[in-house]
């Protein structure tokens, strides 16, 4: 019999009562034992999760994404291009048929890939699961259309889209990582640069090509995640333009300094492009340079956001931010603002799924809540601060001196706590799973 007797650092000490040997195991080791039917005292299944008695920590299943660079050879590149093309072809043809049918009969047409395969035999040359995936995606898109026809038909896919991709499913090991290669249906082993181990089971994989020409693979993996020990700490976030983020702990997060240097360089390259003859050799060369730099900038930005979302979810039980309306943002043509929007969207997305992973609570409050106008000490509403250039102000009522953004972050936290209290959500109970899904007001 096995029993968890103690915990050292992050490892559990498991005693084998037959021979008295103690072995240290990670939570993943212990869960894989449990899943294979071995009984270990000190860990209990609760619904779809496991709870460890010694520290009260819960483990649950979640999805995690991994993205790695691919190095396909010539033949494999041709195959990928064929898959991209066939997926696009199938999507566009099914879409055209569905639209024609809808316009004639105002009803849904169920078109299946096999019908197209027998008509266009070249579709048989590519990964059939990739075609299934297009079929599923299109059906989902059409469901949205039927729910609300005002949104319009799903869009056709253009040949010169910036992003080419196809998705395949893992069926009994059809997708697998083997040493420095990934095994894919129909094409076999493709060289891959794996920057970290993939823990868990692969559900599907998306192969894509970015404008600079590089190939990538993204795995969607089902993984066991252990929640973090509870903490009393709470934080409010004010998302800014000049600074990325200001917290109610008076912490200011900025974009990495290197980003501005690269953005300046990007602007220079774009100016140079304007002077080159369109579609000439040099014009394409310049386009390629620009695509590479775009990629680099996006990666630096994303890495920084991961660091921030990691820190915030590690340290705080409750995280509150504004609920940003993305559709409003797209209308905004101011460059600095639109770049900030992309970061905010990505940051809130990361905080949201990491909160779910680690058993934290993430609450979004209404954007129209006047967080920067209200004094967090006395509640006085100072409309003079509507003017965005007012960075500091003294409250006319209680005299407290405020940093505009820090005051806003305090108010956002207070509003989040009020929402949590009004919904009576206990912090660390069984209902917590429901609570940690994003609460919107
Ligand atoms: Zn005041």
Residue with token string 């009562």: 17
The reply to whether 283 falls in a domain is no
Number of domains observed in the structure of the chain = 3
Per-residue pLDDT, averaged over 72-86, amounts to: 97
User: For residue 397, how far is its CA from the centre of ligand 1 (angstroms)?
Assistant: 5
Q: What pLDDT digit, counting tens, does each position of 235-293 carry?
A: 999 987 778 899 999 999 988 888 889 989 999 999 999 999 999 999 999 999 999 99
Residue 400 Cα to ligand 1 midpoint, Å, equals 6
Domain assignment present for residue 208? The answer is: yes
Indicate the pLDDT class of residue 411, thresholds 50, 70 and 90. very high
Compute the residue count for the chain: 441
**d(C-alpha 239, C-alpha 408), whole Å:** 9
Q: Is residue 378 part of a domain?
A: yes
Domain identity same for 94 and 42? no
Is residue 423 located within the same domain as residue 351? Answer: yes
Cα 124 to middle of ligand 1, angstroms: 70
Identify the domain boundary among 20, 38, 56. Answer: 56
Q: Are residues 326 and 365 in the same domain?
A: yes
Q: 413: CA distance to ligand 1 center in Å? A: 17
Q: What is the pLDDT of residue 253?
A: 93
Distance of CA 64 to the CA centre of its chain: 9
Confidence bin at 436 (pLDDT 50/70/90)? very low
pLDDT on residue 51: 95
Given this model, what pLDDT does residue 242 score? 77
Q: Does the pLDDT value for residue 88 go beyond 50?
A: yes
- Average model confidence (pLDDT) across the chain: 89
Kindly state the percentage of the chain with pLDDT values over 90. Answer: 72
pLDDT at 428 over 60: no
> Which pLDDT value is given to residue 343?
85
Q: In degrees rounded to 5, what are phi and psi of residue 110?
A: -95, 105
What's the rounded Cα separation, in Å, for the pair 227 and 280?
55
pLDDT at 439 over 80: no
349 shares its domain with 412: yes
Q: What percent of the chain has pLDDT over 70?
A: 92
Catalytic-role residue among 134, 227, 234, 238: 238
Contact 167, 128 (CB under 8 A): no
Would residue 322 show up in a list of annotated catalytic residues for this protein? yes
- Confirm whether 387 is a catalytic residue: no
Is 173 contained in some domain? Answer: yes
The mean per-residue pLDDT over the stretch 98-104 comes to: 93
Does the pLDDT at position 330 exceed 60? no
Based on the domain organization, do 15 and 115 belong to the same domain? no
pLDDT-derived band at 149, boundaries 50, 70, 90: confident
For residue 377, report the distance from its CA to the centre of ligand 1, in Å. 5
Q: Give the model's confidence band at 435: pLDDT under 50 very low, under 70 low, under 90 confident, else very high.
A: very low
pTM summary value: 0.83
Query: 371 C-alpha to center of ligand 1: Å?
Result: 13
Cα of 348 from ligand 1 centre, angstroms: 30
Lowest-pLDDT range of 29-33, 88-92, 156-160, 357-361: 156-160
Query: What is residue 56's predicted lDDT score, i.e. its pLDDT?
Result: 93
pLDDT at 431: 35
- Asked whether residue 301 falls in the same domain as residue 435, the answer is yes
The pLDDT tens digits for 311-329 are 999 999 999 998 876 545 5
Q: How far apart are the CA of 379 and the centre of ligand 1, in A?
A: 6
Instruction: Give dist(CA 252, CA 245) in Å, integer.
Output: 6
Same domain, 245 and 363: yes
Task: Examine residue 277 and state whether it is found in any structural domain, yes or no.
Answer: no
Q: Which of 227, 249, 341, 405 is catalytic?
A: 405
So what's the pLDDT on residue 91? 96
133 and 205 part of one domain:
yes
In the chain, what are the helix, strand and coil shares in percent, each to the nearest 5? 40, 25, 30
Q: Write down the pLDDT at residue 432.
A: 35
Residue 234 and residue 413 in contact, taking contact as beta carbons nearer than 8 Å: yes
* Annotated catalytic residue within 322, 341, 406, 415: 322
Q: Domain range holding 244?
A: 234-254+295-440
Active site (annotated) includes residue 251: no
Position 39 pLDDT exceeds 60: yes
Q: Is residue 260 part of a domain?
A: no
- Indicate whether 74 and 137 sit together in one domain: yes
- Give the three-class secondary structure for 23: strand
Both 27 and 71 in one domain: the answer is no
Clarify whether residues 328 and 420 are in a common domain.
yes
User: How many angstroms is it from 382 CA to the middle of ligand 1?
Assistant: 9
pLDDT tens-digit readout, 217-242: 999 999 999 999 999 999 999 987 77
Q: What b/e readout covers 101-121, taking b as 16+ CB neighbours within 10 angstroms?
A: ebeeeeeeeebebeebbeeee
Q: Would 93 be classed as within a structural domain?
A: yes
- The SS3 assignment for 105 reads helix
Instruction: Find the 399 Cα to ligand 1 centroid distance in Å.
Output: 6
120 pLDDT exceeds 80? yes
Q: How far is the CA of 394 from the centre of ligand 1 (A)?
A: 8
| Mean pLDDT computed over 127-142 | 93
The per-residue pLDDT for 424 is 66
Q: Are residues 39 and 129 in the same domain?
A: no
On whether residue 152 sits in a domain, the answer given is yes
Q: Is 335 helix (H, G, I), strand (E, B) or coil?
A: helix
Would you place residue 339 in the very low, low, confident or very high pLDDT band (cuts 50, 70, 90)?
low
- Looking at 32, 56, 80, which one is the last position of a domain? 56
d(CA 140, CA 20): 56
Whether residue 350 is predicted with pLDDT greater than 60 in this model: the reply is yes
Which whole number is the average pLDDT over 86-103? 95
């Amino acid at each position: 019999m096995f029993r968890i007797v103690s915990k050292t650092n992050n490892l559990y000490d498991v005693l084998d009562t037959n021979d008295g040997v103690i072995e240290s195991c990670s939570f993943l080791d212990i869960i894989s034992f449990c899943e294979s039917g071995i009984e270990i005292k000190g860990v209990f299944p609760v619904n779809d999760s496991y709870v460890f008695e010694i520290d009260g920590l819960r483990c649950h299943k979640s999805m995690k994404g991994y993205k790695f660079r691919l190095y396909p050879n010539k033949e494999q590149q041709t195959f990928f291009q064929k898959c991209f093309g066939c997926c696009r072809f199938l999507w566009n043809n099914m879409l055209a048929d569905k639209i024609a049918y809808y316009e004639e009969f105002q009803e849904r047409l169920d078109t299946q890939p096999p019908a197209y395969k027998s008509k266009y035999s070249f579709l048989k040359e590519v990964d059939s699961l990739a075609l299934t995936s297009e079929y599923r995606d299109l059906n989902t898109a059409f469901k949205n259309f039927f729910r609300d026809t005002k949104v319009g038909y799903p869009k056709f896919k253009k040949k010169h889209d910036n992003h080419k991709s196809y998705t395949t499913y893992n069926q009994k090991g059809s997708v697998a990582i083997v040493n420095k290669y990934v095994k894919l249906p129909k094409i076999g082993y493709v060289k891959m640069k794996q920057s970290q181990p993939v823990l868990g089971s692969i559900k599907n994989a998306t192969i894509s090509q970015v404008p600079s020409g590089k190939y990538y693979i993204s795995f969607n993996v089902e993984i066991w995640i252990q929640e973090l020990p509870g903490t009393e700490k709470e934080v409010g976030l004010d998302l800014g333009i000049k600074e990325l983020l200001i917290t109610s702990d008076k912490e200011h997060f900025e974009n990495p300094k290197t980003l501005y240097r690269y953005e300046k360089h990007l602007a220079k390259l774009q100016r140079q492009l304007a002077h080159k003859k369109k579609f000439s050799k040099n014009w394409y060369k310049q386009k390629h340079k620009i695509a590479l730099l775009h990629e680099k900038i996006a990666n630096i930005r994303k890495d920084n956001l991961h660091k921030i979302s990691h820190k915030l979810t590690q340290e705080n039980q409750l995280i509150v931010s504004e609920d940003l309306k993305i559709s409003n943002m797209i209308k905004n043509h101011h460059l600095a603002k639109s770049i900030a929007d992309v970061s905010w969207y990505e940051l809130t997305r990361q905080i949201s799924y990491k909160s779910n992973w680690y058993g934290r609570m993430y609450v979004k409050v209404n954007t129209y809540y006047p967080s920067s106008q209200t004094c967090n000490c006395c509640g006085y509403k100072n409309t003079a601060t509507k003017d965005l250039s007012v960075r500091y102000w003294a409250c006319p009522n209680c005299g407290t001196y405020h940093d505009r953004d820090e005051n806003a972050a305090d108010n956002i936290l207070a509003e989040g706590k009020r929402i949590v209290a009004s919904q009576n959500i206990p912090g660390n109970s069984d209902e917590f799973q429901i609570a940690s899904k994003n609460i919107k007001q």
